[in-house]
Structure 1
Amino acid sequence: MIGNAVKLSYRNKTILAPMVRVGTLPMRLLALDYGADIVYCEELIDIKLLQCKRIVNELLDTVDYVAPNERVVFRTCERERECIVFQMGSADANRALAVARLIENDVAGIDINMGCPKEYSTKGGMGAALLSDPDKIELILSTLVKGLSKPVTCKIRILPSLEETINLVKKIEKTGVAAIAVHGRKKEERPQHPVHCDVIKAISESVAIPVIASGGSYDYIKEHADIEIFRKATTASSVMVARSAMWNPSIFRREGMLPLEEVMQEYIKYAVKFDNHYTNTKYCLCQMLREQLETPQGKKLHSAQSTLEICEAFEMETFYEEMTAVLETKKASLDTTKNEANDHVEDPNVVQIAVRFDKREYPPQITPKMCLLEWCRKERHPQPTYETVQRPLDRLFCSTVTVADQKYRSIIWDKSKKLAEQSAAIVCLRTLGVPEGKLSEGGSSLVHKRKWQDKEVPNLAENGDGLSAETSHKKLHFSPGVPDTDTSKAS
């Protein structure tokens, strides 16, 4: 078992190893589908994570760590929460701890990569560069173990001599890490060089903590049964699979690997569902195709410049369109819910009632705005002023009317600016207890006044020489999302 807070066993487990640009969410989920027990994310540099903001993505049901440039640096989901190890590149103990604390509640464990020989890692003193500084290794790991509630592991490469390697591993064991992964090659060796199973075996026999054997893809692991063969050859507690899993993640199936075409289609489905960046999706699929890249399908994939074009290369454009429609519908629903929640937030300075103007309830040419204006004149108040905004999402309108320094609005959004203003007037009139001119209220002075005006000038409106009391003012320009202040006397 690893750690106290999380029961995460490495013994006799298969693991999808981290690979740069490979260990993203779609690939990890696919590996879990096929039988992997534990998955690693790709190595992520500590400084990059410290700049990120944690965001709960309700659209995708994921947790995203987003950089200032809006790029998603790390994405995970509930499904893998108990079986994902977050692998970090770091050369500073305090920085590593800060990142680990930021992310530990979203993962099952934290790993420090001390075996990466790539320049992007070593030039910053990370990865394989740490192998020459055992004291720094000890400081980083012991700081993490003491400061976290989740298990801590590390991954190393072997040193020039067996004695040096075992001494380093024993020093690491004393830090309290839960397990150590050993890539059975030296930092200058590459996949074409044979993996040193004898060194991994010697390490396994020299420490009490679990040892995870890594590096067997090229020489040993071609199918699921080979995972156990490699484990026995190294006497390790478990095996980490990298390139073989990248070429065909169904290598984790005990029943045997699936046809590559089927595996790639399942991978694409996850890539679309979780909005994986098309460049990463394309890279992973190219790694799966390998020698088939020169086929018509491979060439079409290689030239793809979007997720849709990738789907077209695999005749999955219908799936893409359907999933895109599902996500768009969900997004609209989430946006509406959020907007409604924001719309209905109590504002102590505004009287809010849920009302909507229905012209069928009023006599011809009589409106709540007219009633409110007439009341303000009678009471010698300044004329009502209306501030109207339009919501970009659904282009609906909401208006706030100010009367005698008090604001009134309806919490129901309307399909036009005029309707929104009428609704605001209704809220004001009902709050003040003033008749709003409805047919159900019977006769009113405003109705009789309007009938008298119509008799005096029956043809003005028809001839274009005059306008109704509601439209006699000059209209102000109105831009979506920008307050529109209406100070008309006739409204």
Structure 2
Amino acid sequence: MSRRPHSPECSPRPQKKQKQDRLTSENYKNGVFLAPMVRSGALPTRLFALKHGATMVWGPEIVDKAILHAKREVDPVTGVVSYNGVSRAIWTTHPVEKPHLIYQIGSADPELAVQAARTVMQDVSGIDLNCGCPKPFSTHSGMGAALLTNPDLLCSILTALRKAMPEQISVSAKIRLLPSQEDTLKLVERICGTGICALTVHCRTRNMRDKERAMIERLKEIVQFVEGLGKGIAVVENGDCQGWEDAKRVREVTGAHSVMIARAGEANPTCFSDEPLLDLDKTLLPSYLRLSRYLDNNWSLTKFCVTQFKGGRVNIKKAESIKTRQMLAQAKGYESTTELVGEWTGEDEMKRIIETIESNPPRLRRLQTLECASNEELGMPLSTPAAMASVIFPSVVSSCDEDISYTTPQNTQNPEPPSSCAPFLPNSFQSKGPLPAKSDPVTPTPTVAV
């Protein structure tokens, strides 16, 4: 499909002006977010996530040098903002998602990170530094999870970003756990001194993979530690959350201020709703294809995203689903999916999304603080996680002695111990409170000159 001509200037069609306010740490609390995902975090996915209840969304990691060479263009029909490379769009966004959009940078250089952030800051509300991706395309240049072993460089990038960005642009970071809890706390202390307003912790180590159980119980001490620093920084949990309702369980276990969803959002962008869509081949797939074509989303990217959709079947038989998947596998472009889509009413899809987002601002959708009944009313103590879980999820309480609040969601493996050889903390482990302030904090690894 040929790309429509773009205008290098702003869209001539007047956009409804949205009220802008500064993103602070409070905006990162009591929410459920769409995680940054390469390929899967495409513009249509983010828009559907916002429509169905995501509080904020993260764009996919974009390497600093890549965006510096991109040309910003605006589609005069759809309003889509594209940062185009030589042959394709490197990153796309739409003005309607700006108040809820966090741009994630992959960088190992403070100056390049600042240049990249300045390039896109007119289209986003926050900048996030990727310090956790373990994939070779990120770590080979010292970016992503490689920054975990180079805390001086990591902190210098965050400090530079916070100094360079205007007040209304938030700065945050996303890390992974270190094998040692003590080293993790030392690293977190240094990161919290850079001026960030939020820290996302993927509760796996660099060597762990997605099929291994996230060690979410380790996060509770980290949250207490950050709160003890008194900087008001929000801590966001990432790992093994299945949706809006499951986020309540995760928050109860971890004490995290908010929860971030990756794989479940990839499989079903409507998982942020109280009632996620089922029968996705009929309820979501056609709408996603219509919207993607209207927004001129790259076909290969769209095809990848829709093939990741997974959800419960109620009114669709397995044979129908298999037929749909076979049709998608053979499709060479949007025209090949007309039988699945019907009429190409992508503009109507976009109008509905804009109306939903503007009438129910996503950043106002919040998880409520859990208010438990008294022990006497329940006839049982709430001193244990299992007892608390019976209040939140009474339908899933088992008669066994297993700690329900730590139960791994279905279809997620739970190796014992994790392959990274990072053991769980003993039950007797007690936090000693925040580390004392130091002029030159000890780092998990030898420092290097920056």
Matched-pair identity in %: 36
Shift of 1:227: 1.2
Q: 1:224 aligns with which of 244, 263, 273?
A: 244
8 Å CA contact 1:30, 1:266 repeated in 2: no
Query: Counterpart in 1 of 2:208?
Result: 189
Partner of 1:166: 185
Shift of 1:232: 1.6
Find out whether 1:151 has 2:151 as its counterpart.
no
Match of 2:239?
215
Q: 2: distance between equivalents of 1:46 and 1:169?
A: 24
Letter in 2 for 1:216: D
1:344 is aligned to none
Instruction: Report whether the alignment pairs 1:275 with 2:296.
Output: yes
Cα-to-partner distance string for 1:234-261 (whole Å, 9 max, x where unaligned): 1100000011011111111123444313
Q: Is the 8 A contact 1:282 1:310 kept in 2?
A: no
Name the CA shift for 1:311/1:27 in 2 (closer, same or farther; >3 Å): farther
Measure the CA separation in 1 of the matches of 2:327 and 2:289. Answer: 15
- Structure with the greater relative contact order (CA < 8 A, sep ≥ 6): 1 or 2? 2
Gaps of 5+ in 2: 1-19, 228-232, 313-317, 351-450
In 1, are the aligned partners of 2:239 and 2:261 still within 8 Å (CA)?
yes
Q: Could you tell me which residue of structure 2 aligns to residue 24 of structure 1?
A: 42
Number of positions where the alignment pairs a residue of Structure 1 with one of Structure 2 = 315
Residue equivalent to 1:235: 255
Partner Cα separation in structure 2 for residue 256 and residue 78 of structure 1: 25
Q: Which residue of 1 aligns with 2:153?
A: 136
State the secondary structure of the residue aligned to 2:173.
Answer: strand
| Equivalent position SS for 1:250 | coil
CA–CA distance in 2 between the matches of 1:59 and 1:100? 26
Aligned-partner Cα distance in 1 for 2:245–2:21: 32
CA RMSD of aligned residues (A): 2.2
Select 1:304's aligned residue among 309, 315, 331: 331
Deviations 1:256-276 (A, max 9, x none): 444313022222222122111
Distance 2:259 2:66 in 1: 29
Question: Which of 181, 185, 194 is the matching residue for 1:175?
Answer: 194
Q: Is the 8 A contact 1:86 1:111 kept in 2?
A: yes
> What SS is found at the alignment partner of 2:204?
coil
Letter in 2 for 1:49: I
Q: Matches of 1:52 and 1:11 in 2, distance apart?
A: 33
- TM-score normalised by structure 2 residue count: 0.67
Quick check: 1:10 aligned with 2:35?
Answer: no
8 A Cα contact 2:216 2:239, kept in partner: no
Q: Report if aligned partners of 1:157, 1:186 keep a CA contact under 8 Å in 2.
A: yes
1:18 CA displacement: 1.0
Determine the structure 1 residue equivalent to 2:131. Answer: 114
In 2, the alpha carbon distance for the partners of 1:266 and 1:207 equals 42
Match of 1:335 in 2: none
The equivalent residue for 1:438 is none
Q: Secondary structure at the match of 1:276?
A: coil
* 1:336-384 residue CA offsets vs partner (Å, 9 max, x unmatched): xxxxxxxxxxxxxxxxxxxxxxxxxxxxxxxxxxxxxxxxxxxxxxxxx
8 Å CA contact 2:280–2:311 kept in 1: the answer is no
1:282 deviates by 0.7
Q: Retained in 1: the 8 A contact 2:35–2:260?
A: yes
Provide the rounded CA distance (Å) in 1 between the counterparts of 2:244 and 2:297: 27
Do the aligned partners of 1:246 and 1:284 also contact (CA within 8 Å) in 2? Answer: yes
Cα distance in 2 for residues equivalent to 1:227 and 1:265: 28
Q: Which residue of 2 aligns with 1:266?
A: 287
Give the counterpart letter for 1:205 in structure 2.
Q
Output one character per residue of 1:148-193: Cα deviation in whole Å (capped at 9) or x when no partner: 0111011000011000001101100000101000000011101121
| Alignment correspondent of 2:415 | none
What is the alpha-carbon distance in structure 2 between the residues aligned to residue 289 and residue 303 of structure 1? 19
**In structure 2, which of residues 267, 272, 290 is the aligned counterpart of residue 247 of structure 1?**
267
Instruction: Give 3-state SS (helix, strand or coil) of 1:181's partner.
Output: strand
Q: How far, CA to CA, are the matches of 2:220 and 2:76 in structure 1?
A: 46
Structure 2 CA distance, aligned partners of 1:290 and 1:276? 23
Aligned to 1:41: 59
Contact persistence 2:268–2:310 (CA under 8 A): no
The runs of 4+ residues in structure 1 deviating greater than 6 Å are: 290-294
Contact 2:64 2:105 in 1 (8 A): yes
**Contact 2:83 2:92 (8 Å CA) reproduced:** yes
C-alpha distance in structure 2 between counterparts of 1:111 and 1:15, whole Å: 13
1:84 lines up with 2:101 in the alignment: yes
Instruction: Output the TM-score relative to the length of structure 1.
Output: 0.61
C-alpha displacement at 1:198, in angstroms? 2.0
Pick the aligned partner of 2:307 from 268, 277, 286.
Answer: 286
Higher helix share: 1
Q: Is the 8 A contact 1:268 1:311 kept in 2?
A: no
Preserved CA contact (<8 Å) 2:247 2:259: yes
- Which residue identity does 1:239 align to in structure 2? V
Mapped partners of 2:21, 2:52: distance in 1:
28
The aligned amino acid for 1:78 is P
Contact 1:289 1:298 in 2 (8 A): no
2:322 matched residue in structure 1: 295
Question: In 1, are the aligned partners of 2:277 and 2:284 still within 8 Å (CA)?
Answer: no
Q: CA deviation at 1:310?
A: 3.1
When residues 6 and 290 of structure 1 are mapped into structure 2, their CA distance, relative to the original with a 3 A threshold, is closer
CA 1:273 to 1:140, structure 2 compared with 1: closer, same or farther past 3 Å? Answer: same
Deviation at 1:317, TM superposition (A): 4.3
Q: Distance in 2 between matches of 1:323 and 1:31?
A: 18
Counterparts of 1:99 and 1:188, CA distance in 2: 28
For the residue of structure 1 that corresponds to 2:266, the secondary structure is helix
Name which one, 1 or 2, has greater alpha-carbon Rg: 1
Aligned equivalents of 1:90, 1:133: Cα separation in 2: 13
Partners of 1:246 and 1:288 within 8 A in 2? yes
Following superposition, the deviation at residue 300 of structure 1 comes to 0.9
